[in-house]
Structure 1
Amino acid sequence: MAVVRVGGADVVYTRLGRGPVVVLVHGAGADGRMWEPQVEALADEFTVVAWDEPGSGRSGALPAGFRLEDFAWALAAVIEDVGLGPAQVAGLSWGGTVALELYRWRPDLVRSLMLVDTYAGWKGSLAPEEVAARVEGARRMLAVPREEFDPTLPGLYAAGPPERFAALLEAMGRDVRPESMAIQLSLMAEADESDLLPRITVPTLLLWGELDARSPLDVAYAFRDAIAHAELVTLPEVGHMSNLEAPEAFTAAVRAFCRVHA
């Protein structure tokens, strides 16, 4: 475990393995533990870094007024602290939007991108009525008393949470801070990264669950059409949390891509 202080927050990350650096960026309502299968599997060949973003997991509280740009600068600070040069950066869902924002501000730190079941922000990828419905759903979810708060968003899994990760998911869920999740979802609702997609010049893998209900394949196709030379890999019978629903197939796709672009 390592800690870097940036933007008024202590940011914690784990680092395992040796070799080219791969940075894993978690989604909203989660922390770096969601990447447990990939960290363990890829560390035989890569230096694998999984952060707890500000306001999540073991990291410090979100400073007041924290913006999407600030998450990107915090991620940049982690990559610089690792000290192995530009990274291959993978982000799932909200984490993919953060990875895009990192590329906007610090493309020099990004060797390649792996955008997983993600969005160019909700505003940048979804219809306005869908964004409005999600904002209202988030408002209801966050309005309950803290002891009743459940951070599980609808439509995360194709066939329910995977049993073998039940304990991991429960532990992460207990540690979610409602105030952090409120900021994540608010920023996601307002984000529109679609202008950035045609300007991406690094190798890009689009890795999607075939049955993703939260970021449907139409979003992946829009990414593929906008990003020159992007490669799309779909995982059959898998939903939004593809790295946990099909960890072996997911990790194999990441490994193959990272080997080529290390």
Structure 2
Amino acid sequence: MDAVDVDGIRIAFTRAGRGRPIVLLGGFVGDGAGTWHHQIDALSGSYTVVSWDPPGSGGSSDVPESFRLPDYATSLAGLISALGLEQPVLVGLSFGGALALEYWRHRGAQVRGLFLAGAYAGWTGSLPAATVAQRLQTCLAASLLPAPEFASTMVPSMFSPDVPTDLVAEVRDNIAASFRPGGFRAMARSSAEADLRDVLPLIDVPTVVLHGAADVRAPGFVADALCAAIPGSRLVILPGVGHVSCIEAPERFTAELEAFLGGLRRHAGPGPDLASPAHP
């Protein structure tokens, strides 16, 4: 894992491959490499693939608990600039989907496409107010637990009922290892406060909304609303898959992502090699 300094914040990231850039934005638990290792392995033969640990988690610096979605977007912009990534495709899972939307709000011309999985227009922008309040209360209470108990509290809602137990254990261990209470509370509050519905009708880049049909954290009505509000977007449903679809069904997830990326590539032409020395 590498790191760069962005406005005094250490941002840890994993970078692999060579070609057009893809930036992978995970949820509010687990680190980037643990969330995205299947996609990093599968895509790095054709693309420059970057995943990050959001500020306040994993190998990145702690940040104040007042950190909010625009602050995360600013840190992400600093990372993308530092790595010389031109017009990346943003792939956002859950919290990472909201972050991708917030990033697009301020830097839409710098984004090639959006692939939003289990995503929200912020909790307030996607869920009933009572659900938002209850979910935030649950998250804040869980943040006071020791890391192993915190991880055990979070994982049950992330998968379909039939997911293998060894996969659940792997994700639980990753969540525990990367957990930092203050950073998690900042991301939970960011999710609860965000309402990005005003951004959705303005999006003018190719967009896929991917929904796991067994996702209980971002249910089907959330994906339907995102797709209906984003002009020209396409809804992809993975039957029998839960919230962390990139982990539970990595082959199906990656196949859909590769199809999306292939369409962008055919439309854009060969383009520059963004992993060349001219783009460090």
User: TM over 0.5: same fold?
Assistant: yes
Structure 1 158/148 Cα, relative in aligned 2: closer, same or farther at 3 Å? closer
Cα shift at 1:31: 1.3
Distance of 1:98 and 1:9 partners within structure 2:
18
Q: Which residue of the partner structure matches residue 166 of structure 1?
A: 169
1:212 to 211, 215, 221: 215
Q: Which residue of the partner structure matches residue 196 of structure 1?
A: 199
Residues 1:19 and 2:22 are matched in the alignment: no
Cα shift at 1:231: 0.8
**2:130 is aligned with what amino acid?**
E
Structure 1 63/144 Cα, relative in aligned 2: closer, same or farther at 3 Å? closer
Runs of 4+ in 1 over 4 A off after TM superposition: 145-148
Distance of 1:229 and 1:45 partners within structure 2:
26
Counterpart contact for 1:7–1:63, Cα < 8 Å = no
**1:199 is aligned with what amino acid?**
L
> Where in structure 2 are the equivalents of 1:46-85 lying within 5 Å?
46-63=47-64, 65-85=66-86
Give unpaired runs (5+ residues) of structure 1.
Answer: none
For residues 166-203 of structure 1, what are the alpha-carbon distances to aligned partners after superposition, in whole Å with 9 as ceiling and x for unaligned? 33541332221111111111111110001100000000
Distance of 1:159 and 1:139 partners within structure 2:
25
Distance of 2:206 and 2:148 partners within structure 1:
44
Cα shift at 1:147: 7.0
| Larger CA deviation: 155-164 vs 243-252 | 155-164
1:221 to 204, 221, 224: 224
TM-score (norm 1): 0.94
| Larger CA deviation: 4-13 vs 245-254 | 4-13
1:152 to 151, 154, 157: 154
Counterpart contact for 1:210–1:234, Cα < 8 Å = yes
Counterpart contact for 1:7–1:70, Cα < 8 Å = no
Question: Considering only aligned residues, what root-mean-square deviation do their CA atoms show, in Å?
Answer: 1.8
Q: Which residue of the partner structure matches residue 142 of structure 1?
A: 143
Counterpart contact for 1:117–1:209, Cα < 8 Å = yes
**2:208 is aligned with what amino acid?**
L
Q: Which residue of the partner structure matches residue 104 of structure 1?
A: 105
| Larger CA deviation: 14-23 vs 162-171 | 162-171
- Give the percent of matched residue pairs that are identical in Structure 1 and Structure 2: 42
**2:36 is aligned with what amino acid?**
W
TM-score (norm 2): 0.88
Aligned partner of residue 238 in structure 1, secondary structure: coil
Distance of 2:78 and 2:135 partners within structure 1:
31
Q: Select the structure with the greater relative contact order (CA < 8 A; seq sep ≥ 6).
A: 2
**2:161 is aligned with what amino acid?**
A
Q: Which residue of the partner structure matches residue 42 of structure 1?
A: 43
| Larger CA deviation: 100-109 vs 248-257 | 100-109
Aligned partner of residue 113 in structure 2, secondary structure: strand
Aligned partner of residue 232 in structure 1, secondary structure: strand
Distance of 1:235 and 1:148 partners within structure 2:
30
Distance of 1:175 and 1:31 partners within structure 2:
6
Structure 1 153/135 Cα, relative in aligned 2: closer, same or farther at 3 Å? farther
Counterpart contact for 2:159–2:244, Cα < 8 Å = yes
**2:220 is aligned with what amino acid?**
L
Q: How many residues get paired?
A: 262
Aligned partner of residue 4 in structure 1, secondary structure: strand
Counterpart contact for 2:59–2:178, Cα < 8 Å = no
Counterpart contact for 2:148–2:173, Cα < 8 Å = no
Cα shift at 1:82: 2.1
